[in-house]
Structure 1
Amino acid sequence: MTITSQDELEGLAEIGRIVANTMQSMARAMEPGMTTRELDGIGRELLEREGATSAPESTYGFPGATCISVNEEIAHGIPGDRIISTGDLVNIDVSASKGGYFADTGATFRVPPVQPSLDRLCRDGKRAMQIGIAQVGSGKPLAGIGKAIGRFASERGYTLIRNLASHGVGRALHEYPETIATWPTRGDRRRMHRGLVLTVEPFLSRGGIWATDGDDDWTLFSEPRAPVVQYEHTVVATDRGAIVVTLPG
């Protein structure tokens, strides 16, 4: 989507606020002994209360209102009977639509106590996203996002999952540009234009390189197996940099 008016920006910001508030409320409600289905139910109730529709459910027939991935699951985890326990890494990914606008956000949360190395991974995962967002702006190269994130990851001894990319969003959950690398690439000459709406969502790992399919046709796992965290915002490219629309409020 390309934002061309203040009304469009306000419509996008409304659904951005809704998904951000939903994700943060789910994180606050999360506790050991809860199932991922129960956590998803909280997210569904919050989205419905705001008049929003789950994007993965409506677009792809995903079996849940939100994606909840625990530990070895790195993305698209199906809410179910899995019990959340102390020490877990839990990724909550919330995307939804309202009034014809779509927004997408995600973050990895820790269920204390966790290993100090996982605390660092989470802090650095969020930092990697912020570094990527700093590369967003009118006329800037899309490949600059992955180049900057890749430099940060390499300097700290991390790897990046290289087949889960950022993407355009706004009038649909996934739209042009459909694949925006959050790792270093060559040959991508595309540039961001004013008003472009996209996600920035690196998957930072301590050894993982690829996302591979599980047995349920949805859940993705790291290959090789390693801890992975993901942080994601929906942003708008402007002449002054990025406007982040998935902020709670």
Structure 2
Amino acid sequence: MTVTQEEELDGLKEIGKIVANAMEAMAKALEPGMTTRELDEIGAAFLEREGAISAPQSAYDFPGATCISVNEEIAHGIPGERVLARGDLVNIDVSASKDGYFADTGATFRMPPSQTWQERLCRAGKRATQIGIAQVATDKPLAGIGNAIGAFADKQGYTLIRNLASHGVGRSLHEYPEEISTWPDRSERRKINKGLVLTVEPFLSKGGLFAESGEDGWTLYSEPAAPVVQYEHTVVATDKGAIIVTLPG
């Protein structure tokens, strides 16, 4: 989607705040002993109260309102009977629509007590996303996002999952430009047009390079096996930089 009118930006900000607040409500509820289904029900109830529709369910018939991925699961985890435990890394990904506008956000949370390497990985994952967002502006190269994130990851000694990309969003969950690399990609020649709506969502890892599908056909795992964190925002490109629409409030 390309934003051309203020009312479009307002619509994106509304759904952006809803998904951000839903994710925050789920994060606050995290506690050992609860199942991922119980956590998902909190997100589903929040979206329903706000008049929003789960995007994974509506677009792909996903078996959950949100995606919840724990430890070895790195994305698209199905909410179910898995019990959350102390020390887990829990990724919550919330995307939804309202009044024809879509927004997508996600973050990885630590269940205390966390280990030092987990804290460092999460801190670096947040920073990688910020660095990517800083590359979003009118007429800048799309490749700049992955180049900047890749340079940061290399300097910090981390790897990037190279087949889980950012994407256009706005009028649907996934739209042009599809497959925006969050790693260095020499083949990327596209530029960011004014008003472009996209996600920035690097998957930072302690050794993982690719995502592989599990037996359920949804859940993705790191190959080679390694811890992975993901932080995601939906942003709008402007002449002055990126407007982040997925902020809680």
TM range (shorter): over 0.9
**Structure 2 Cα separation of the partners of residues 156 and 98 of structure 1:** 39
**Structure 1 Cα separation of the partners of residues 201 and 172 of structure 2:** 17
Cα deviation code 1:144-168 (max 9, x no counterpart): 0000000000001100000000000
1:51 aligns to 2:45 (yes or no): no
Q: Which runs of 4+ in 1 moved over 2 A?
A: none
Residue 141 of structure 1 is matched in structure 2 by: 141
Gaps of 5+ in 2: none
> Deviation at 1:182?
0.1
SS of alignment partner, residue 64 of structure 2: coil
Residue 119 of structure 2 is matched in structure 1 by: 119
Q: Percent identity?
A: 75
Residue 128 of structure 1 is matched in structure 2 by: 128
Residue 9 of structure 2 is matched in structure 1 by: 9
Residue 176 of structure 2 is matched in structure 1 by: 176
Query: For residues 1-249 of structure 1, what are the structure 2 equivalents within 5 Å?
Result: 1-249=1-249
Alignment-mate amino acid for residue 214 of structure 1: G
Cα deviation code 1:52-109 (max 9, x no counterpart): 0000000000000000000000000000000000000000000000000000000000
Alignment-mate amino acid for residue 208 of structure 1: G
SS of alignment partner, residue 97 of structure 1: strand
SS of alignment partner, residue 40 of structure 2: helix
- The alignment yields a C-alpha RMSD, in angstroms, of 0.3
> Deviation at 1:115?
1.1
Cα deviation code 1:181-231 (max 9, x no counterpart): 000010211000000000000000000000001000000000000000000
SS of alignment partner, residue 222 of structure 2: strand
Gaps of 5+ in 1: none
**Structure 2 Cα separation of the partners of residues 86 and 184 of structure 1:** 35
Q: TM-score under structure 2 normalisation? A: 1.00
SS of alignment partner, residue 93 of structure 2: strand
SS of alignment partner, residue 14 of structure 1: helix
Cα deviation code 1:166-189 (max 9, x no counterpart): 000000000000110000010211
SS of alignment partner, residue 177 of structure 1: strand
**Structure 2 Cα separation of the partners of residues 187 and 74 of structure 1:** 26
